Amino acid sequence: MELIDELTIREQLDVHALRAEFPILERQVHGKPLIYLDNAATAQRPLKVIEAVDRFYREYNANVHRGVHQLSGEASEAFERSRRDVARLLNAPSEREVIFTRGTTEAINLVANSFLRPRLEAGDEILISHMEHHSNIVPWQMLCEQTGAVLKVIPINQNGELLIDALDDLISERTRLLGLVHVSNALGTVNPVQEVCAIAKRQGVPVLIDGAQATPHEKVDVQALGCDFYAMSAHKMYGPTGIGALWGREALLEAMPPWQGGGEMILRVSFDETTYNELPHKFEAGTPNISGAIGLGAAVRFLEDTGLDAIAHHEKKLLDYATEQMQQFEGLTIIGQAEQKGPVIAFTLDGVHPNDIGTIIDHHGVAIRTGHHCAMPVMQFFEVPATARVSFAAYNLRTEIDVFLEALDKARTMLV
Amino acid sequence: MALDQLYQQLVLEHNRSPRNFGPLAGATHSARGFDALCGDDLLFELRVEAGRVVAAAFSGEACAVTKASASLLTEWLPSHGRDEVEQGLRNFNVVLQGVEPPDPGFLGDFARLGGLAEFPSRQRNAKLPWRCALEALEA
pLDDT tens for the 416 residues of chain A, in order: 445 554 554 568 999 999 999 999 999 999 999 999 999 999 999 999 999 999 999 999 999 987 889 999 999 999 999 999 999 999 999 999 999 999 999 999 999 999 999 999 999 999 999 999 999 999 999 999 999 999 999 999 999 999 999 999 999 999 999 999 999 999 999 999 999 999 999 999 999 999 999 999 999 999 999 999 999 999 999 999 999 999 999 999 999 999 999 888 888 888 888 888 999 999 999 999 999 999 999 999 999 999 999 999 999 999 999 999 999 999 999 999 999 999 999 999 999 999 999 999 999 999 999 998 899 999 999 999 899 999 999 999 999 999 999 999 999 999 98
State which residue of chain B sits closest to A415, comparing Cα positions.
B12
Chain-wide mean pLDDT for chain B? Answer: 94
Model confidence, pTM: 0.94
For an interface test with A, the pick among B3, B15, B35, B43 (most A C-beta atoms closer than 10 Å) comes out as B3
**Residues whose CB is less than 8 angstroms from the CB of residue A337 and which lie 6 or more positions away in sequence, other chains included:** A159, A160
Count the helix, strand and coil residues of chain B and give each as a percent rounded to the nearest 5.
55, 20, 25
- pLDDT at residue A1 in the model: 43
What is the Cα–Cα distance from B129 to B14, expressed in whole angstroms?
A: 14
- Catalytic entry in A144, A197, A227, A374: A374
Chain B residue nearest residue A354, CA to CA: B63
Low-confidence ranges of chain B (pLDDT < 50): none
> Minimal Cα distance from A413: which residue of B?
B12
Beta carbons of A79 and A63 less than 8 angstroms apart: no
Whole-angstrom CA distances from A58 to A54, A61, A75, A256 are 6, 7, 12, 38
* Gap between the Cα atoms of A404 and B107, Å rounded: 38
Cβ–Cβ of B3/A354 closer than 8 Å?
no
Main-chain dihedrals φ then ψ at residue A137, nearest 5 degrees: -120, -55
The total domain count for chain B is 1
- Residue B115: which domain range? 2-138
Residue among B1, B12, B39 minimizing CB distance to A415 = B12
Q: Which residues pair with B21 in a beta bridge?
A: B58
Point out the residue among B7, B15, B39 whose CB comes nearest to the CB of A385: B39
Q: Where are the domains of chain A?
A: 3-30+307-415, 49-305
Read off the CATH number of the domain in which B85 is found. Answer: 3.90.1010.10
Binary contact (A353, B41; C-beta < 8 A)? no
Confidence at residue B1, expressed as pLDDT on a 0 to 100 scale: 63
β-partners of residue A180 are A209
Distance between B54 CA and the closest CA of chain A, angstroms: 30
Query: Which chain A residues have a beta carbon less than 8 Å from that of B39?
Result: 353-355, 371-372, 379, 384-386
Establish whether A144 is a catalytic residue: no
CA dist A93 and A84 (Å) reads 10
Q: CATH: 1.25.40.10, 2.40.50.140, 3.90.1150.10, 3.30.1360.120. Which one for A3-30+307-415? A: 3.90.1150.10
**A3-30+307-415 and A49-305 agree in CATH topology:** no
The question of ipTM being above 0.95 is answered as no
Q: Does domain A49-305 have CATH number 3.40.50.620?
A: no
Instruction: Give the closest of B1, B36, B62 to A353, CB-based.
Output: B62
